[in-house]
Chain A
Amino acid sequence: MTVRAEAYPEPLEPYEEVREELERTWEQPPGLWHWLRSVDHKSIAKRYIVTAFLFFVLAGLEAAVMRAQLSRPENHLLGPDAYNQFFTVHGVTMMFLFAVPIMQAMGLYFVPLMIGARNVAFPRLNAYGYWVYLAGGLFLYIAFFLNTGPDVGWFGYVPLSGPGFSPGKRADVYAQSITFTEIAALAGSVEVIVTVFKNRAPGMTLNRMPLFVWAMLIQAFMVLFAMPWVATVTQFLAMDRLVATHFFNPAEGGDALLWQHLFWFFGHPEVYIIFIPALGFVSSIVATFTRRPVFGYPVMVLSMIATGFLGFGLWVHHMFATGLPQLGQSFFTGASMMIAIPSGIQIFCWIATIWSGRPRFTVPFLFVLGFVVLFIIGGFTGVMIASVPFDQQVHDSYFIVAHFHYVLIGGAVFPLFGAFYYWFPKVTGRMLSETLGRWNFWLFFIGMNLTFFPMHQLGLDGMPRRVYTYLPETGWGDLNLLATIGAVTIAISMVIFVINVIVSLRGGVLAGDDPWGGETLEWATSSPPRPYNFPYIPVVTSRSPIWDESEELPVVTGLRTDVRDVLVTTLLDAEPDSRHRHPIPSIWPLLTAIGTTVLFVTLIFTPWGAVIGTPLFLLGLLGWGWPRGRDKWEQQLVESEA
């Protein structure tokens, strides 16, 4: 049982034979039953991406309806009741069902490919995470269509969301749908951390990891530290509402501000949880399309880590108007400004990369250029509202709406679309149309600015957020109409994107393994990758393995192909450590997720939900972990030892 991690000029076994056996071992047969049991990271990540994109479209439609309502003063398209549900579901969807999951899904797809692994570390947990996420999303939307959509804002401030002011089950749906997505996010982050730490290809030391993998690793750690807070605080809310606890009741020693502290202690890192993966996309795209590695690798990594740490020290800048002491607030001003420094460094490094490289103006690269422009604007307004006095003026006004849409759309969605165009050939084997892509980019860019730039002015003119209408005398009508026109432009650009995807899937240009001339390992395998990712696990000798190896990549041999055998390497230096028997497909993650769903959904109606749901959930875990006897690999091991 030795693992040889040396470069072999020729594979030891005949290549075709190895491939065929790997196919048999790792294959996922067609059919619904096998689809439900799948544990392949690519197929699960694809589901994640498609589902999250559908939620993105739904949330975008909600935004479009809201923009239509606000296009003129005293409009009667939506009443306050419907509008409050629309803006809440829009926010919850974008944050919990689109942004975080899709970023994690991109990581779950590409991290194993970039580090030369066969799959993620805990593939069944991965499947479970997806099913729980899907259940949470369906739960929210079924509730929404039944007029039980949350109407308390994605931030759900108590006491408005508490038992006294939110009758019915709307706020419970809010609290519980967040719990679903938190569990999925935590599962995803555990996947990424363990996969990155233990499954890297031999030779890929930490300082040879692609920046994208670093970004996903840092994001996963942030998820691990941030998400439990929101899961806790929403459970406090659910308990206040269901079993009359008094966490947030000032009359009983609770505190309404407790919610805000706990929520924003999650809520601010959340922004960076969404943004840091985007840094990874940008770094990958910039490197490929300037044909050089990103300038200042150590600085980039350190600044991402700095962002990850500082992100946890800013939460009070969401609470500057609550009347906290002045001195304490100053610290958070300082921290909020400090976080601009790593972001600035990253932008300077990319500009340096572009300057010294040879840029190719493909669609992914255009999205990166758009990202830099939009993100700088969002960053500037971010520095402005780090200032306590100025924030107290524009806090909860449309200025803030403008700010965070610049940061989140400019800073995360633009890189995401760049990443879609960049990696689409890898995932599907076909190229997206560059012409349609340019239309998509320019309409999105123009529409984005048309929609959100006027909102800065609206905020300075005193328009508060989360209003379902406004009076004609306020004079906010014209700029709102402009914003609505911008929203229509964005919608058109999205339609073009969807058309582009459909056309490409039906008959796009075949991509080949490496259409862009990429830097990292995912371009070393076929497009789309086979279920086992690489016929032979590559050996990495530099940061840009494909560019630096003029001939074939060196590979690992000695892994079994007749069973699901994966290589475990050491944390720092990625030296081969041991081999690991990889789980086979299973239906139990899905069944456990259904148990979890029963538990969570019944819990919003009665405390007996715990009694009904917990056994189902435990039953799922029991089936999941039930010993199934030895397979031939283990049998051989036992025999050889005996």
Chain B
Amino acid sequence: MLGLCLGIACEREERNFQGIPPSASASMPPVRESELQPGPPTRSAPISGPYEENAYGVSQGKTLYNQYNCSGCHFQGGGGIGPPLMDADWIYGSRPENIFETIAEGRPNGMPAFGRKINADQIWQLVAYVRSMSGLLRKDVAPGRSDDMQVRPQEQSTPKARPVHSALPPASERQ
């Protein structure tokens, strides 16, 4: 029973410091964004990201997401300047290789190409984290809460404020 529960652990817990071998990532085959194409439909074998099942890789992706300022445009996944990342809409596809290409090659309307600035291994980590935000990864692999997400001050140290849209008249006008 215990073994069963933990049996799925091996890949999740791996700490792969050396990263994936560079040759595996350098030769990315051309990536398809949709099934539409001239002629009869063909299926290309999906490429899986190397960190989809690896909690350490996803967590590294999360750190990098903030450090490399992805949050500057996409915020914590809710989107703002850039599109949201935690919903189910994917403009350029949700498969790992689509997202890899988005990060590496950039997209029109503002997404820069990071291919030369971030090495492939870290891009794959970012891919895994981005996919975890919309629940595409297993839950036990996805990272937990952040240590410093909210920027508002602690409730107990904020001054007492009256509700803005209260129907009650201010205390001075009440009987």
Interface residues of A (CB under 8 A from B): 79, 81, 135, 138-139, 142-143, 146-148, 159, 162-165, 167-170, 240-242, 244, 246, 249-253, 594, 597-598, 601-602, 605-606
- Least CB separation from A248: chain B residue: B147
- Least CB separation from B63: chain A residue: A164
Which residues of chain A are within 8 angstroms of B6 by Cβ–Cβ distance? Answer: 142-143, 146, 148, 169
- Least CB separation from A170: chain B residue: B13
Looking at B15, B141, B143, which has the most chain A CB atoms within 10 Å of its CB?
B15
Contacting pair A163 B147 (CB below 8 A): yes
Q: Given A142-B2, A253-B155, A598-B1, decide whether A169 and B150 contact each other with a Cβ distance below 8 A.
A: no
In the assembled complex, B3 has its CB within 8 A of some CB on chain A? yes
Cα–Cα, bound, A597→B4 (Å): 13
Return the contact of A169 from the options B13, B59, B145 (Cβ within 8 A): B13
Cα–Cα, bound, A165→B14 (Å): 15
Contacting pair A146 B143 (CB below 8 A): no
Cα–Cα, bound, A139→B143 (Å): 22
30 contacts between A and B (CB under 8 A): A81-B15, A81-B17, A142-B2, A146-B9, A147-B14, A148-B9, A148-B13, A159-B147, A162-B144, A162-B147, A163-B147, A164-B146, A164-B147, A165-B147, A167-B55, A168-B9, A168-B59, A169-B12, A169-B55, A169-B140, A170-B13, A242-B144, A246-B145, A251-B150, A252-B149, A253-B154, A598-B1, A601-B5, A605-B140, A606-B139
Contacting pair B147 A251 (CB below 8 A): yes
Which residues of chain A are within 8 angstroms of B14 by Cβ–Cβ distance? Answer: 147
Cα–Cα, bound, A149→B141 (Å): 16
In the assembled complex, B24 has its CB within 8 A of some CB on chain A? no
In the assembled complex, B36 has its CB within 8 A of some CB on chain A? no
Which residues of chain B (135-172) have a CB below 8 Å from chain A? 139-141, 143-150, 154-156
Looking at A170, A246, A252, A253, which has the most chain B CB atoms within 10 Å of its CB?
A252
In the assembled complex, B10 has its CB within 8 A of some CB on chain A? yes
Contacting pair A244 B2 (CB below 8 A): no
Which residues of chain B are within 8 angstroms of A602 by Cβ–Cβ distance? Answer: 5
- Least CB separation from B61: chain A residue: A167
Contacting pair B13 A244 (CB below 8 A): no
Q: Given A142-B2, A252-B154, A601-B2, decide whether A163 and B148 contact each other with a Cβ distance below 8 A.
A: no
In the assembled complex, B56 has its CB within 8 A of some CB on chain A? yes
- Least CB separation from A246: chain B residue: B145
Return the contact of A253 from the options B1, B141, B156 (Cβ within 8 A): B156
Q: A164-B144, A169-B13, A241-B144 are in contact. List 13 more A-B contacts (CB 8 A).
A: A135-B2, A142-B6, A146-B7, A146-B9, A163-B144, A164-B143, A167-B58, A168-B59, A170-B13, A246-B145, A251-B148, A251-B150, A605-B140
Which residues of chain B are within 8 angstroms of A81 by Cβ–Cβ distance? Answer: 15, 17
Cα–Cα, bound, A146→B2 (Å): 11
Which residues of chain B are within 8 angstroms of A142 by Cβ–Cβ distance? Answer: 2-3, 6
Cα–Cα, bound, A249→B145 (Å): 10
- Least CB separation from B3: chain A residue: A142
Contacting pair B150 A252 (CB below 8 A): yes
Q: Given A142-B3, A146-B6, A251-B150, decide whether A168 and B55 contact each other with a Cβ distance below 8 A.
A: yes
Interface residues of B (CB under 8 A from A): 1-3, 5-7, 9-10, 12-15, 17, 55-56, 58-59, 139-141, 143-150, 154-156
Which residues of chain B are within 8 angstroms of A79 by Cβ–Cβ distance? Answer: 17
Cα–Cα, bound, A159→B63 (Å): 14
Smallest Cβ distance from B20 to chain A, in angstroms? 17
Contacting pair A605 B154 (CB below 8 A): no
Contacting pair A163 B145 (CB below 8 A): yes
- Least CB separation from A171: chain B residue: B144
Which residues of chain A are within 8 angstroms of B141 by Cβ–Cβ distance? Answer: 168
Contacting pair B59 A167 (CB below 8 A): yes
Return the contact of B1 from the options A159, A242, A597 (Cβ within 8 A): A597
Contacting pair A168 B56 (CB below 8 A): yes
Cα–Cα, bound, A424→B30 (Å): 73
Contacting pair B149 A251 (CB below 8 A): yes
Smallest Cβ distance from B114 to chain A, in angstroms? 23
- Least CB separation from B149: chain A residue: A251
Contacting pair A249 B12 (CB below 8 A): no
Cα–Cα, bound, A154→B155 (Å): 33
Contacting pair A169 B9 (CB below 8 A): yes
Looking at B9, B14, B59, B155, which has the most chain A CB atoms within 10 Å of its CB?
B9
Smallest Cβ distance from A592 to chain B, in angstroms? 15
Which residues of chain B are within 8 angstroms of A253 by Cβ–Cβ distance? Answer: 154-156
Contacting pair B56 A167 (CB below 8 A): yes
Contacting pair B140 A147 (CB below 8 A): no
Which residues of chain A are within 8 angstroms of B143 by Cβ–Cβ distance? Answer: 163-164, 167
Cα–Cα, bound, A142→B7 (Å): 9
Which residues of chain A are within 8 angstroms of B156 by Cβ–Cβ distance? Answer: 253
Smallest Cβ distance from B155 to chain A, in angstroms? 7
Smallest Cβ distance from A618 to chain B, in angstroms? 18
Cα–Cα, bound, A253→B156 (Å): 8
Smallest Cβ distance from B147 to chain A, in angstroms? 4
Cα–Cα, bound, A169→B55 (Å): 9
Cα–Cα, bound, A135→B14 (Å): 25
Which residues of chain B are within 8 angstroms of A251 by Cβ–Cβ distance? Answer: 147-150
Which residues of chain A are within 8 angstroms of B3 by Cβ–Cβ distance? Answer: 142
Contacting pair B148 A249 (CB below 8 A): yes
Which residues of chain B are within 8 angstroms of A143 by Cβ–Cβ distance? Answer: 6, 9
Contacting pair B145 A240 (CB below 8 A): yes
Contacting pair A147 B13 (CB below 8 A): yes
Cα–Cα, bound, A252→B147 (Å): 8
- Least CB separation from A139: chain B residue: B2
Cα–Cα, bound, A242→B14 (Å): 20
Contacting pair A597 B2 (CB below 8 A): yes
Cα–Cα, bound, A250→B10 (Å): 32
Which residues of chain A are within 8 angstroms of B2 by Cβ–Cβ distance? Answer: 135, 138-139, 142, 597, 601
